[in-house]
Amino acid sequence: MKKRILTLITGLFAAATALVQAQVNDDFEIVFTDDMGKLEYIELPEAMTKEVDSLLALYHSRTYLEMDTLCESNDVNPEYSDEVYIDRLQRMPTVMEMPYNRIVRQFIDRYCSRLRRTVSVMLGRTNFYMPIFEQALESYNLPLELKYLPVIESSLNPTAVSRAGATGLWQFMLATGKQYGLRVNSLVDDRRDPIRASYAAAQYLRDLYKIFGDWTLVIAAYNCGPENVNRAIRRAGGSMDYWTIYPYLPSETRGYVPAFIAANYVMTYYCEHNICPMITHLPAHTDTVEVSRDVNLQQIADVCGTDLGMLRELNPQYRRDIVNGSSEPSLIRMPIPVINRFIELEDSVYAYKASTLLSKRSLVSVNERVASTSSENVSRSQSSRYGRSRGSSASRSSSRYSKGSSSRSSNGSSSRSSKGSSSRYGKNSKQSSSKSSGKRSSRRRR
């Protein structure tokens, strides 16, 4: 009876553990059985593991997006046959191929089921960012479907930071960002600038295409780096087909291209899956003003009577609200009415709370009187301390040597002490000399 109870408890514990493990896997990876009957684990792009709350908390989302209460969606993801997905993907106006397979289907299902609310928010945010992406891609004559890369990279969050440190809408790593002219220092991170980062990403994608000549491989290299893609190509016998080198790619990259295809699909056919975009209220038209002096966004907000959160959202590259215009001329994006007020009140803006909001001091004075007085005290204390120690050591040495000199001319305990010391050092010296001579003679014998 006890054995049965123990077996039952063990079984329940194992089932609970398996359920928790399945939940963990389901949150961060897709698990399915391949053609050989083995379980395959495909890591989800990090943006697909984020909660929708992080997007809703952004200023633009809170200020300019709202749910469409008139949307008659029943919030149910309908089932379609493989043929329907194949037909829809082929009808999309793209230069890049958008093939269908069961891995792509897994990612489509993920977007259309668990990530439905995230897709709804991203559809609303596309009104802010897609014109920027399209302009940058068009300037380098790249396929416009690449504009959906930030969907799987950052979920259209300009301040997103990955576990590896990739930052911004396009998730640039530090070294790659600097390679393409993006400034990164304590005050500025251009990887967060939607415009600068978009043009840098377009240039990077163009350079990757010069290497591989295949857009699917370019997407894979954008995720894991060209070195990993070249390694996979060599291991696959030189094949330049993504689906052939697929098993030799890192786990996340194996899911990256299917996720990209799924992102293009869901951003095109969201209505067919009962996903309602959030309604977008576009902000006032914006432009940039160039400054050549340091200024804090708080100064502009207070003097020009505008919202600090709005300025931060329009200028996410300024990490601490400080625009370091004195280092190099810098651009600040603002609504047109705010720019007009800034130009009228520019001197007042720079002067407003400058000592507190721009806390770096350019010149400081040293309290030399206190410093000299304290140094004199230190000198006196050091000299007195070292003077006493030197005197005591000198007196000790003089007394020692005077005792030694008296031992040479007199008898008694001092002479015994002298004999003891001489015999002690003498023994050692003799032993060492005899040992060394013995070693020399033994060497000669060898």
Task: Give the residue numbers annotated as catalytic, written as ranges.
Answer: 153
Question: CA-to-CA distance for 50 and 104, rounded, in angstroms?
Answer: 20
Q: Quote the CA–CA distance of 274 and 8 in Å, as a whole number.
A: 44
Amino acid at 266: V
Alpha helices in 305-412 (DSSP H): 308-314, 336-344, 346-351, 354-357, 368-409
User: Which are the contacts of 282, defined by CB distance < 8 A and separation ≥ 6?
Assistant: 64, 127, 128
Q: In this structure, what token pair is assigned to residue 138?
A: 């068009």
Of 356, 339, 363, 354, nearest to 291 (Cα)?
339
Q: Contact, 226 vs 208, CB < 8 A?
A: yes
CA gyration radius, the chain? 37
Burial label for 190, CB within 10 Å (0-12, 13-18, 19+), is buried
Q: Which of helix, strand or coil describes residue 39?
A: strand
Structure tokens at 321: 């609200």
CA distances from 194 to 172, 179, 201, 271, 315 (A): 12, 17, 10, 28, 9
**Dihedrals phi, psi of 351, to nearest 5 degrees:** -85, -20
Query: Could you tell me how many helices (H) and strands (E) the chain has, helices first?
Result: 20, 8
| CA of residue 314 relative to chain centroid, distance | 21
How many CB atoms are located within 10 Å of the residue 140 CB? 16
